[in-house]
Amino acid sequence: MQSTTHQSLRNSILPRQLKAAAQHRRCVAIILIKFPSLHEINARRSYDTGDSILRQAWYRVSAMAKYDDCLHQTGGVQFCLVLPLLENTVILELALAKLDDALSLPYEFEGETIFMPAKLGASSSADIGIQAEDLLLAAETALASVRGSSPSWKIHQAQRPRPELFRDMQSELRNAIENNELELFYQPQIDLKSGRCVGFEALTRWPHLGTYIPPDVFIPYAEQSDLIFLITNWSIQNAVRQLQNLDNMDLGGYPFSVSVNISGRCLGEECLYNSISNALSIWNVAPERLIIELTETAFMEDLDAAAKSCNRLKHELGVKISLDDFGMGYSGMEIIHKVCADELKIDKSFIQDLHRNERSEKILTSLLALGESLGISTVAEGVESSESLRALQALSNGQAQGFLFSKALKGRYLKDWLKNDARRLRASMRTQLT
């Protein structure tokens, strides 16, 4: 059984699914499944009995999961089933009814018939702007409201943050920008053949009340105001300045690149053009070392206008254009037809099970062949295991990034990482290839 913490669901799994759903204009639903009588079964019979019945329940639920990574055990007596890319909430009700029927059937252990009823609480992202935290809170509220055995499931609709919370978030975010409290973290990008670090993806973080608020939480607030332009300008200026800092260090003179994620709201705005032009001029950095990274959502409103803006940035300023999460959306081929892209960033969903999923390997091979035929470089995201790396190296001459190489680093730690960890990584990858 796939064990997952609520934190992983909140910070990684659900944000990824919500992002994909937004791209496809669909929604995400989750179902929390709890077995209140499992403790009693363990106490009155044995833990072997409880474990066996819990495994049987897992198999019943997993038979309904669309993908392998949709079912998670989030506690000793609780599962979470993620339903991605739903067309409407009617499907959620059907799934709940089907689950209820399956989990109401008796279990068998050593020739004995045992019943272990389940409670189910569900929620969906049918409303615009729903975040992972909203989804989990609504599902937990639904689960807590289930009383007795009939009905054994409930749906609680996830709600957008209240207007006053929205205003507070915007106000605090504006103060953070004005007080220069945002931070950039840098995740290394590695050449798969040489093992050399060739660049970094700059990731904006907001330190707040002793923790970091991830961009998928605060960027939607910024995009509904002028704050997104302030954040974009700040990110570009600091990322390009970091390139100059690296040039001034004794690192062998290798010209690293840096990728900056750009919101679709900024694309086509003159302030973006000016921000990039000013940063390159102020910090005296060659334009081809700055990579502007865009997801498919940046092109959804007006593909022709967005493509024109991208091509202007590329041809007039000389920066490179990267298409992020490539292969996940419906419009990828149309975008690549109109945008003079320099780089395709292949979504981690094709990478993480590459070594054990033949279908992922075939899809990745086709994406790599597309990039090669068009003269576009490729970056594989989400490399987290040595098995995935070996499988990727057998297919690709491009680049990769992921936790296997390094987590995202603060700028002040880059020099030490490049002088120590990066050299060890390069030696290790060379040994692996020989």
pLDDT one digit per residue (tens) for the chain, 434 residues: 555 556 667 777 888 888 877 777 788 899 999 988 887 787 778 878 888 999 999 999 988 886 656 888 876 568 999 998 887 778 888 889 899 999 999 999 988 899 998 999 999 887 666 788 888 888 888 888 886 655 688 898 776 655 555 567 788 889 999 999 999 999 999 999 999 999 999 999 998 777 777 787 788 778 878 899 999 999 999 999 999 999 888 676 678 999 999 998 899 899 999 999 999 999 999 999 999 999 877 887 788 999 999 999 999 999 999 999 886 655 678 889 999 999 999 988 788 778 777 877 888 999 999 999 999 999 999 898 889 899 999 999 999 999 999 999 999 999 999 989 988 898 888 766 65
Q: What is the pLDDT of residue 2?
A: 59
pTM for the predicted model, two decimal places: 0.66
Contact by Cβ (8 Å): 411, 186:
yes
CA 103 – CA 111 distance, rounded (Å): 19
Kindly provide the b/e burial profile for residues 208-222, where b requires at least 16 CB atoms within 10 angstroms of the residue's own CB. Answer: eeeeebbbebbbbbb
Domain 164-433 has CATH 3.40.1580.10: no
184 burial class (0-12, 13-18, 19+ CB within 10 angstroms)? buried
Q: What is the pLDDT of residue 78?
A: 82
Residue closest to 55 by CA, chosen among 19, 108, 100:
108
Domain 6-155 has CATH 3.30.70.270: yes
Say how many CA atoms lie within 13 Å of 22 toward its Cβ. 19
Q: What is the pLDDT of residue 374?
A: 93
Q: What is the pLDDT of residue 85?
A: 83
Contacts of 25 (CB under 8 A, 6+ apart): none
**Domain boundaries defined on the chain:** 6-155, 164-433
Residue closest to 264 by CA, chosen among 327, 315, 222, 234:
222
Contacts of 11 (CB under 8 A, 6+ apart): 132, 214
Q: What is the pLDDT of residue 355?
A: 76
Helix count and strand count (H, E) for the chain: 16, 17
H-assigned helices in 71-225: 90-104, 132-144, 163-178, 215-223
CA 428 – CA 434 distance, rounded (Å): 10
Element (H, E) at 258: strand 257-261
Q: What is the pLDDT of residue 142?
A: 86
Element (H, E) at 47: helix 47-62
CA 23 – CA 294 distance, rounded (Å): 13
CA 294 – CA 329 distance, rounded (Å): 13
Q: How many CB atoms lie within 10 A of CB 191?
A: 16
160 burial class (0-12, 13-18, 19+ CB within 10 angstroms)? middle
CA 135 – CA 156 distance, rounded (Å): 9
Please provide residue 400's backbone torsions phi and psi, each rounded to the nearest 5 degrees: -155, 160
